Amino acid sequence: MTDPELVAQIKVGNEKAFRLLVEQYQRMVLHTCLGFVQDRNDAEDLAQEVFIELFRAMDKFRGESGLSTWIYRIAVNRSLNFIRDQKRRCFFQSISTRLTGGTTVDVADQSWRSRPDHEVENNQRRANLYQAINRLPERQRVAFTLSKLEGLSYQDIAGIMGLSLSSVESLIHRAKLGLQKQLYQCYKKGL
Amino acid sequence: METRSHAQIQKKLIFYLDNQLGAKEHQQVVQHLSGCDECAAFLRELQSTLCLLEENKQHEPGAYFYASIQNRLQAGHRQPLLGIRLLQPAILVLLLALGIRLGIWIGTQSYAESVLSEQAVLVPFNDLAEEPIEEFLLNLK
């Protein structure tokens, strides 16, 4: 079944078509969310929310952009909202821990530590890498993540982000420079 | 090798790894790396770090992924509405204002009570003032 056929079937309430859509795009959505939130459980939860939103908003899809572009857009927006909410939660959490005199806990770091199947060295590299990515300005982070983690073309990223091709090229170029600079600083510290 | 040269090459390494350099720049980097252990070591580190990005692609959705979506759809799972998100600070401000008002009311009440009790304490003295001392001494007998 092609994408327009899938959309048409879902719009008339065909449950099998929705299941097909989920099966077809679940890996893509999960990987996109993982690229932003870096925690498997959070990413899976977010990916499910993406499909729920897709199902509810299917009537609004007019097919002006490709179905995958639309799905990517929802996944990216959901992930960014999640990160913003998490930052807000962390902010209030840090205030409450300061008030109660407790110690602060690095949530992202904890999530990587909970993975038993990785060596200490790679854990450190991974922590440095995602810390550097998360420090990038939001648009640079989105463009870089879609390019590097999803392997999307600059043209596709431009469609998802609603930007021109040259803007995407510039964002990714700056993201790479920023990332390399931060990774070099981490490398020098580790020597 | 000059420090300036190291810095210039290190800026290009991420693009070198992605094969995004022009032929001339690519050649410059190759030449530099062949004689510079420091930059070569950083290149290896950068490569090892960026390789970790590939890990995400190995993750598969859980076995009950679709079933969970179905359950959430049937349960009418909804994300907090935007209106509710905006209402939260408004409710907090309202609660704060109510708290302040309640504090003022309690303060006023306790002040009024303290004034009344002061007046109650003062009553015998007032009576005493109104009662002539001779009469008081007579009553005492």
- What pLDDT score was predicted for residue A102? 59
Would you state the pLDDT for residue A111? 53
Say yes or no for a CB contact (<8 Å) between A44 and B69.
no
C-beta atoms of A22 and B10 within 8 A:
no
What is the domain partition of chain A in residue ranges?
Answer: 1-105, 112-191
In 3D space, the residue among A180, A9, A158 whose CA is nearest the CA of residue B14 turns out to be A180
Q: Residues 50 to 109 of B: which have CB under 8 A from any A CB? A: 50, 52-53, 55-57, 59-62, 65-66, 68-69, 72-73, 77, 79
Residue with the bigger pLDDT between B137 and B124: it is B137
pLDDT at B136 over 80: no
Residue A149 carries which DSSP code? I
CATH class belonging to A112-191? mainly alpha
Residue type, A184: Y
CATH topology of domain A1-105: Rna Polymerase Sigma Factor; Chain: A (1.10.1740)
Low-confidence ranges of chain A (pLDDT < 50): 104-109, 112
- Distance (Å, rounded) from C-alpha A70 to C-alpha A76? 10
The pLDDT value recorded for residue A107 is 47
Percentage of chain B exceeding pLDDT 90: 35
> Per-residue pLDDT for B6 more than 90?
no
User: What is the mean pLDDT of the segment spanning B2-6?
Assistant: 66
Show residues of chain A in contact with B53, CB under 8 Å.
129, 148-149
User: Would you call A28 an interface residue with chain B, using a CB distance cutoff of 8 Å?
Assistant: no
Question: With bands split at pLDDT 50, 70 and 90, how would you rate the model's confidence at B87?
Answer: confident
Chains A & B: contacts with CB separation below 8 Å:
75
Region B73-98: what's the mean pLDDT? 76
Residue % of chain B over a pLDDT of 70: 80
Question: What's A4-73 look like in SS3?
Answer: HHHHHHHHCCCHHHHHHHHHHHHHHHHHHHHHHHCCHHHHHHHHHHHHHHHHHHHHHCCCCCCHHHHHHH
Which one is predicted more confidently, A56 or B78?
Answer: A56
DSSP SS3 for B107: helix
- Minimum Cα–Cα distance from A33: chain B residue: B56
B92, two tokens: 């907090």
**Is pLDDT at B90 greater than 70 in this prediction?**
yes
Cα distance between the two ends of chain A = 55
Asked whether the ipTM of the predicted complex exceeds the cut of 0.90, the reply is no
pLDDT of residue A158: 95
Query: For residues A167 and A143, what is the distance between their CA atoms, to the nearest angstrom?
Result: 10
Cβ count within 10 A of residue A148: 20
